[in-house]
Amino acid sequence: MVSMRIIALASGKGGVGRTTITANLGIALSGFGKSTIIIDASLTTPDLAFLFKLEKSVYTVNDALAGEASLEDVLYNGPKGVKIAPAAVTLEQIKRARPERLPELLSQVPQKTDFVLIDAPGGLRRETVTAIRAAREILLVTAPEMVSVSDCMKTRLISEFLGSTPIGVVLNRVRREEFELKSGDIKTILNVPVLAEIPEDEKVGQALKQGKPLLVLDAKAPAAKAIMGLAKRLLKVKAQAP
């Protein structure tokens, strides 16, 4: 029986809103009563801390990956009871981290945890591969544009090669413009179901400027509602065995 689900949100291309979706999806899952931990694996380009005002945290994922702290030391309380493990934002802390220790860090996750969401960095760097390898499931994130979808395809192929299962794709910043790829086309290209379409929403920018998650700023915003729908859909997707 599969209980804890370890899901890496991966995009291939940066700038598609993966961190925003990871943060708010974690809050949504916690709001549905699921014990959820969010881990920032973007060690060289950390952004998650800013969304939760944790950039001045005493201990971070970097310290844990350097063997100088435990997972419990780097977990902080967030909205709706979600737990956040932020990455460091200073160069000295970034240098100390050893990405290959991520699986060891995940072994410290309490057994009662329902979801672990890993914010995997964009591109195909060492830390990206480590994050994907450490996860059991991969949730792809892309903008509905050919370049972004193409990069997402590379991530999908790498995920399968590393033994992680792509369970679906999230289309973010959807504007319904003529040049955008349709949901059905993206499903065919990536060969995974489209679990959600998150619309372009000015509230997302406002939330980023204020340094808070969208679901905290305005849970009724179109993008927030779509992320809540994604959380509900994710709960119905069959978990993948380790």
- State the pTM of this model: 0.95
Q: DSSP state, 6?
A: E
- Confidence at residue 242, expressed as pLDDT on a 0 to 100 scale: 62
- Confidence at residue 2, expressed as pLDDT on a 0 to 100 scale: 53
Largest CA distance in the chain: 51
Sheet hosting strand 5-10, strand order edge to edge: 76-77, 83-85, 36-40, 115-119, 5-10, 137-142, 165-174, 194-199
Cβ 199 vs Cβ 226: under 8 Å: yes
- Confidence at residue 1, expressed as pLDDT on a 0 to 100 scale: 42
Q: What burial letters (b/e) apply to 85-101, b meaning 16+ CB within 10 Å?
A: bbbbbeeebbeebebeb
What domains are defined for the chain? Answer: 5-236 (3.40.50.300)
**6 CB contacts (<8 Å, ≥6 apart)?**
106, 116, 118, 134, 135, 136, 137
The 3-class SS string of 45-64 reads: CCCHHHHCCCCCCCCCHHHH
Residues 181 and 168: their CA atoms lie apart, in Å, by 16
Indicate the SS3 state at residue 159.
helix
Per-10-residue mean pLDDT for the chain, 242 residues long? 85 89 98 98 89 92 93 97 92 81 95 96 87 96 95 93 94 94 96 97 94 95 98 89 64
- Confidence at residue 125, expressed as pLDDT on a 0 to 100 scale: 83
